[in-house]
Structure 1
Amino acid sequence: MPFFLLATVFVLPVLAPGPELLRQPAYHLVSFACALPPAALVALLSPLLRPLEVAAVRSLCGVPAERLAEGPAVSWAARRRTALWFVTHLLAGGIVSGMTLAAPPAAMALTLLPFSASLRRVTPGWPDAFHGVLGPLTGLALLALVAGTSWAMGTLVGRVAPVLLGPTPADRLAAAERRAADLASRNRLARELHDAVGHALSAATLQASAARRVLDTDPEFARQALAAIEDTTRDAVAELDTVLGLLREEDGGDPAVPAPTLDGLEALLERSRAAGVRVETTTQGRCTGLPSMVSREAYRIVQEGLSNALRHAGPVPVTLHLHRTERELTLRMENPVSGPVAGPAPGSSVPAPRTGGGRGLLGIAERARLLGGEAAAGARDGVWRLTARLPLAGRERGGRGDVQA
């Protein structure tokens, strides 16, 4: 309507100035046509117009939300489609509005024409055929034309809306990127919870099982085991704060507790030794001063390897080898097994292995893949071996990152 009023004020006086101008329907059509290009230009330069039009289409046309785009029209392709839709919307609305304003009074006059002599005198230009039964029939037909045109325009607008207001390829790509980012965030949180809290719970479970078995025969050992459980659960609370810090970091805040790195490896090994795991470490190269991401992921991989040894093999000797070169850091962990997948020895204090596992190995694969490295795990000749290669420069070669059994 504003564009039509502006065109009426500025365009029509130029074409045919005079007081009789407003009575000529042709000039109104020209004014309406002149109003469409400015409307298209405004729609092209207004990214926020698309959300308004989408809301109107959803409310008035009943188009499902999943078929329409979300958010402002950022790309020029989306703006062009929005501008084309806006012109189509105005054109359809103008046709229906014009017919709604003009047709009902004419239909009423045609219907009453046979019954009113005064009405026939004020409409001298109408054919005499309308003075009979043809008048009311024509009036009803005119009303039916208005109703049919309104329905047809509504149907047309409803079908065109998903095409012009639907997501563009750029919108679909942006939505896919948002979903991928959300999924990556969830996977990262799941990995941190599994590796951090899972390790502490596995150690506490093993210690509690051992304490229960010797509570009557060796109270001193039971007290030591309970003290170790207390330390382990305290560390688990700190690890949980670290995981929650990841959520704060993703929300734009500062994490409350920094994520552990290889600088805290010795404390991790001491906790595992307190749970009954004999850990021997060998190091080649200097493992300090690593990139923070590599150091953090390496710590988590070692933590998960120790958790697997505790969970599936019990208090068995574990060998950890760290090898750093100029290009990468290699981790290798080995522990004896009694079969393809280690289980608790009969009569031991090791709890029965859980069913439905395997998430730890998937987490190791994801951590290695994020850095452009790879990981392999499997049993061979009675030894379970976990190997991970982490490039120091990140995704330099786009490694597979799959755990190979």
Structure 2
Amino acid sequence: MLDLKMMQKNPDVVREALKKRNAKIDVQEFIDLDTRRKALIGEVEALKAEKNAVGPEIAKRKKAGEDASDLLKKMGEVSNRTKELDRELTDIQAAQKEWMMSVPNIPHESVPYGESEDDNPVLRTWGEVPTFDFTPKEHWELGTALGGLDFECAAKLTGSRFSVSFDWCARMERALAQLMLNTHTEQHGYTEVNPPTIVNRATMTGTGQLPKFEEDLFKLTDDREFYLIPTAEVPLTNIYAGEVIDEDALPIKFCAHTPCYRSEAGSYGKDTKGLIRQHQFYKVEMVNFAHPDHSYEALEAMTRSAERILELLELPYRTITLCTGDMGFGATKTYDIEVWLPGQNTYREISSCSNCEDFQGRRANIKFQPKDSKKKAFAHTLNGSGLAVGRCLVAVMENYQQADGSIVVPEALKPYMGGLEEIKP
């Protein structure tokens, strides 16, 4: 959520930022609400001043035994009017907060302008795209032929856009997650967390999934407002919701391996085959609570942590900077990492690393206490995939495939696979 005082003082800054984001949000609506709010406050204060002025006169008349009924009647009218205005003011403030909750974050000045993903500049590339003397297959062909993936079984158990992994495939997915967690905790300074994967409405609101993106979520159908998490960013970030962190404790870096659940509303017809876009998938997520002075350094480090996993697996990738028109709701700046998939002959997203500055801190009330100030400040929060495990599995299968349909196990995974070197037909 944006700073209310900044919105009130600089609505044109927000209007311009929303224009760059292609967000169809009317800033004038906020201005009109705020103008009415100020008018109501002014009228309430005037009525209270009138009541305070008349009070002594009523007391004086009563003490002198004089009639004060006219003043008492007037004060009754003032009291009733004040209550009416207070109710309207409460409604106006609620509408203002609802408007604020629907507004995306303001892009950082370094973010390039653009209208869509087609305008995202490539920041860097790593590795050589492999060449084959045969036509490379897509991962679902390889996985099904080798008995590791079964989409028909998943459709029977649940429905479309789910999968079942068996034997080597299940083990490789587990191996990838272990490699990621071990690397992030042992080399990059993250603390591993095992959070709940069912959260309440307040937790979803704190990171920005609610109220705007409710249709993208899976909600449990009972009397309680519980949701399945779309990413571990949600519970990890809210660990410090409503709390004050010591400045010396920053940065605090968490990582977690969890299932993620997304309805993929509006994506029907896209990536209907395979593991690229499923309702349930696994991801290793990184979250960082950073000092505002160092959050952009933290973004660069987080992105490098994600890239390092691909380098260990020797998978070609490129890193792009998202333009203003393609950034997520809560981000001020985002890097996407895309891995090369030979079966599709293209790069596909495997990680997204974002700095949200104090946007989530305001929503979830996450503060820290600066040493040089008595006033608390909002912490900056960052999040990034480190990596999407299923998509990493896809990349390994497609990049390490052989002409006979077998898959070579990457060197970095062999210790986690019991020394297995190749998945054979």
**TM-score between the two structures when normalised by the length of structure 2:** 0.27
More contact order relative to length (CA 8 Å, sep ≥ 6)? 2
Higher strand share: 2
Q: Which has the larger radius of gyration?
A: 1
**TM-score between the two structures when normalised by the length of structure 1:** 0.28
